[in-house]
A and B are shown apart, each in its own frame.
Chain A
């Protein structure tokens, strides 16, 4: 069966510090991968999606970037975090017309 991992589960970072969140998928090959951010009490905002290694599409201009160095690995990064980057970050992969979500990373920028 397919499994999606995200780490860390929670993270507290100072403003201006770098960020690296990792997502890996098991049990499937060449998945479409997605990064979402969820602000408190709001829906999910699509940040990036990838259809293959090295292929990244950005949905919203922002302080973040994404990379896909391997088929089942998706990384979300920032060089300098802003207060507004705080939120719940979710990685997802697609199977046909359904998306499966990871457990998420709670990021607090102070």
Chain B
């Protein structure tokens, strides 16, 4: 399974755009890139998933370059409630499983 590397922590202010980058150098052909959000004492919640180029939904955008060795989660106009740990992981469709890294703790300040 591909290993992911993210920054340990990030700070931001309300209303700003936040970009969290993840590297996954040994990503495989059958791997999908997925981002989750986790609040304390809760299970992770799915945010967005992509294979290549750009994916956008109602809460975030995911940018994946052509080589797919990294990805960037973009959160537009964050609020205090976006303070959480964000996990980037690579989901292997053949194995049906994925590996979580230690995540990025995002702190949004007023």
Contacts and interface: CB of A to CB of B under 8 A. Distances in A.
User: Chain B contact residues: over half helix, strand or loop, or mixed?
Assistant: strand
Interface string B24-64: 00000000101000000111111001000000000000000
Given A43-B102, A102-B43, A97 B93 contact: yes
Nearest to B6: A43
Interface stretch (A14-22, A61-69, A74-82, A88-96): A88-96
Interface in A27-57: 32, 34, 36, 41-46, 49, 51
A49 B96 contact: yes
B34 A44 contact: no
A46 B34 contact: no
A43 B96 contact: no
B1 to A, nearest CB: 9
Interface residues of B, number: 20
Contacts of B41: 88, 104, 106
Contacts of B44: 44, 90, 101
Nearest to B103: A43
A94 B42 CA distance: 18
Looking at A34, A49, A90, A99, the one whose CB has the most chain B CB atoms below 10 A away is A99
Q: Which range holds the interface residue count of chain A? A: 20 to 34
A98 B102 contact: no
Contacts of A34: 97
Contact of B34 (A49, A88, A98): A98
Select the residue from A41, A44, A59 with max chain B CB neighbours within 10 A.
Answer: A44
B100 A36 contact: yes
B76 interface: no
B83 to A, nearest CB: 15
A69 to B, nearest CB: 20
B46 A46 contact: no
Interface of A: 32, 34, 36, 41-46, 49, 51, 59, 88, 90, 92, 94, 97-104, 106
Closest 7 CB pairs of A and B: A101-B43, A44-B100, A43-B100, A43-B102, A97-B32, A43-B101, A90-B43
